[in-house]
Amino acid sequence: MQIIDTGLYRFSLKSDVKHVSTVAKSLYSDSWDLDGPVDFSIRLVYESLLRRFIKPQISFYSDQHSPFKPLPISQAAAVLEWGMNWCIAAHEFERLLIHSAVLVKNGKAIIFPALPGSGKSTLTAHLGLSDWDIYSDEMAIIDTSTSMVNPLFRPVCLKNNSIDLIKAWHPEAYFSPICKDTQKGDVAHVKVLTWEQYQKFDKAQIVAVVFPKYVPESELKIYQLTQLDAFNTLSKNAFNYNVLGADGFDAVARVIKSCRLFEIEYSDLNEVNDFLSEDVIG
């Protein structure tokens, strides 16, 4: 058994697939632990002896529950990360979870809610491997009482062409092996910070909400959003908004009222960096 510490949540991992443990250790080895309490017990196992040899498939379990259908063993490393995301999204009832990246500079946080294909993860990985701090690639974890956002020690999930782009721009970074032909296409995870760096992070105040949209060969376009439009979109991107009830409504409202609100179209990541650093963070 291996224990993965992501800061807010701890996972005990058992796996029938050796390379899953190898990849997990490469991504999380500096936070590796051998004992202590855990939040989630997770397993990656073969469903049957036959499936070890004929078109082998792997299943993810959290305790005795399996939220996904069995998938090819070649996708096992990606299934581990997706399963960890599911555990958090399905069981976090105290903090507001928004499907969003979180980037921080000078103690100020910007959250980036986005639909698939928006280029969110490419933008996150590039800026995080440059001069920003990545608090999350997949979810903003927001305290409902203060609206401060929490850091999470996780890699960034890259898909398809983004993998080669980030490898070319940041060859020094560690990339997990590519999982081919998943439901999201080709998938790899890139390690964007060390455990030592993560431990220096504090909760951060959200100063802006930016909805990014990648448009090939376009100039940077910036649109100011109304509070109503931003509220509707942000609440729809929340995993547990309805579960939290009034606390969820108040948390989203507090973020919207205290932040600058933008939608951007972009193709040049350096232009986005300049805009965020100079005009948003200041």
Chain segment 215-259, per-residue pLDDT in tens: 999 999 999 999 999 999 999 999 999 999 999 999 999 999 999
Q: For 148-177, how does the pLDDT look when each residue is reduced to its tens digit (9 = 90+)?
A: 999 999 999 999 999 999 999 999 999 999
The pair of structure tokens assigned to 81 is 């990360």
- Rounded Cα gap, residues 159 and 117, in angstroms: 9
**Residue 99 bridge partners (DSSP):** 139
Least confident interval from 43-52, 109-118, 140-149, 218-227: 43-52
Decide if pLDDT at 41 tops 80. yes
Res 115: pLDDT: 75
In this structure, is the dihedral angle defined by the CA atoms of residues 160, 165, 167 and 170, taken in order, positive or negative? negative
Cα–Cα distance, 120 to 164 (Å, whole number): 16
Between CA 261 and CA 112 the distance in angstroms is 10
Q: What is the mean pLDDT of the chain?
A: 91
What phi-psi label fits residue 190: left (phi over 0), alpha (psi between -120 and 50 degrees) or beta? beta
Query: Is pLDDT at 51 greater than 70 in this prediction?
Result: no
pLDDT at 48: 67
Tell me if 166 sits within 8 A of 129, measured CB to CB: yes
Give me the pLDDT at residue 36, please.
80
Query: What does the pLDDT look like over 52-95, one tens digit per residue?
Result: 667 788 899 998 889 989 889 899 999 999 999 999 999 999 99
User: Mind listing the pLDDT tens digit for each residue in 178-222?
Assistant: 999 898 899 999 999 999 999 999 999 999 999 999 999 999 999
Count, residues in the chain: 282
Given this model, what pLDDT does residue 1 score? 75
Whether the full predicted model's pTM is greater than 0.85, yes or no, is: yes
